[in-house]
Structure 1
């Protein structure tokens, strides 16, 4: 009995290639293709520690911007019981608080929002797209500073950025890009290997019937951007572009540049395919060919979502305290039941 298999193709990716995809490295050369953006760097070490600490600790909000609670957090302290034990007080002393530990950054973020209007945040490489469940609008649209803190604190993608940045000794940066509503059907990922497009994929994995008739038009736009703009201005010969092509489909917006590496999602391709494609006279633009009922039944990044009571609690400091106490009591009861058996 024989079995066929395909050897796993080697796709080397150097530290330099990963660093070339840091937003501030490529943004100046592609500025005209990117929505208006402000980059804040270097970030204070206290801010990084704030993102790494357990839980989500929001600072008091200004009365006119308060969307989470009718009173500033500080005024609610009197509502809590007087029986705060020593351990809780010690934990509170160790907490990183924006208004105390990085007030300059806090004010910088507020100034950018005042200048640009709603923004979408990201760190060196990643946007917290997996954490949109935590905001009422279910997007990365942030109209005030606390929404940015919520997204960054709740995102596994941001945790990954922190890990990679610390491993490689990179300086961290906060990218605040002017927010606009994207049609997910018109987002594409274009794979460039050795200065040639080897494939392109629809990013949103739902079926859109009208895309098929536009394939040639999309490919013309991809070819023009890659050949005339991306390849001459990006230092690596292999990379992955996230592009947005709004109507009338004659201009692209550059959303991101990713390493040509297995850590980047190949979407409708496999990395073995992308690494071994030989005929480069033309390439395939892959689209979802039919409705996938199972796809509509689940939400994107659902593996990172949490119960609604956690979301609700994140918007109210008192609710966070109550939920924490409920969890603590539940764990205590479970432990007592386990000990009695």
Structure 2
């Protein structure tokens, strides 16, 4: 008896559709719906080379203002030499260093942080949400330039941006958005096909008991934003929106625009569903059920939370000591700030 199967539905996605989702391509059209943002474009090629090189290497200066310094605590008695002396011999001649190879960009990032306060970074398409494990606050909140370097260097999502950008010949940009604490329960992904919403889903894969009672109110907000703002201002008819709807549920923030393509996470839907759902005036807002089990009970981005850099560091006592000291210094500073409040 032949086995039954479902053929994968074709979901065409052009190079132009991918490029239309680059942040700077759409930001000006939706500026009133996006948190305050600064875009540095194009970034110098040395910055991209810095992100692509192996390991996580931070600037060895500005120790008076940053705890993320590449200089460990000296301890000559125990055989530890100064960072500048011990590590210099190991550095390759072609190693990219922020303060040497792109000092203007380094200072520009510092100036933006001084202007906006804490920021969250991204490249052309992606935010390093999968790398929050590397910061003690476990978020993408960056209060200094070295935190931005840490996040971008540790993120597989950023690696994907670099690969796509090179393949398509795009200029790279660094986006610094003013950071604010998002309630993950109120982030949603909206799928628009041929100018019609065909589905919506919560982004955080955990159960929140109050969301079901808000379904109609949320869908009204999604409908209004898509029909009155997104469709008239975005060049493609099919796309995926990431929206944030904070209390009191009367304003929609646009977080990102993604291609309507299989590379975009479909979350609680399958792409076959999204490609074949009959477009109607009504659509389903999928929420995590109370008995949240299986893959939806796992931690977001868990597949990316043991990166190669940490594995490599675990094999090198000097490298793991460096990482441990950086984290310890930050925790001590945060504790001091907490005690002083």
TM-score, structure 1 as length reference: 0.86
In structure 1, runs of 5+ residues without a counterpart are: 325-341
Shift of 1:304: 1.4
Shift of 1:280: 1.5
Q: Give the paired residue count.
A: 316
Shift of 1:73: 2.7
Alignment match, 2:14: 14
Shift of 1:80: 2.0
1:231 and 2:231 correspond: yes
Alignment match, 1:110: 110
Alignment match, 1:264: 264
Alignment match, 2:255: 255
Distance 1:250 1:67 in 2: 40
Shift of 1:298: 3.8
Alignment match, 1:159: 159
Alignment match, 2:127: 127
1:320 and 2:319 correspond: yes
Distance 2:75 2:35 in 1: 41
> Contact between 2:190 and 2:241, CA under 8 Å: does it hold in 1?
yes
- Within-5 A mapping of 1:1-341: 1-68=1-68, 73=71, 79-80=80-81, 89=89, 91-292=91-292, 298-306=298-306, 310=310, 319-320=318-319, 322=321
Alignment match, 1:331: none
Distance 1:66 1:318, change over 3 A: farther
Distance 1:195 1:298 in 2: 33
Q: CA RMSD in A?
A: 2.8
Which 10-residue stretch deviates more, 51-60 or 289-298?
Answer: 289-298
Q: Deviations over 1:246-291 (max 9, x none)?
A: 0111110000000000000010000001101114121111001123
TM-score, structure 2 as length reference: 0.86
4+ residue runs of structure 1 moved beyond 6 angstroms?
Answer: none
Distance 1:96 1:61, change over 3 A: same
Distance 1:208 1:74 in 2: 43
Distance 1:310 1:201 in 2: 33
Secondary structure (helix, strand or coil) at the match of 2:93 reads: helix
Secondary structure (helix, strand or coil) at the match of 2:210 reads: helix
Distance 1:241 1:231, change over 3 A: same
Shift of 1:223: 0.3
Shift of 1:301: 1.1
Distance 1:129 1:61 in 2: 27
> Contact between 1:188 and 1:200, CA under 8 Å: does it hold in 2?
yes
> Contact between 2:194 and 2:238, CA under 8 Å: does it hold in 1?
yes
Distance 2:285 2:108 in 1: 41
In structure 2, runs of 5+ residues without a counterpart are: 324-341
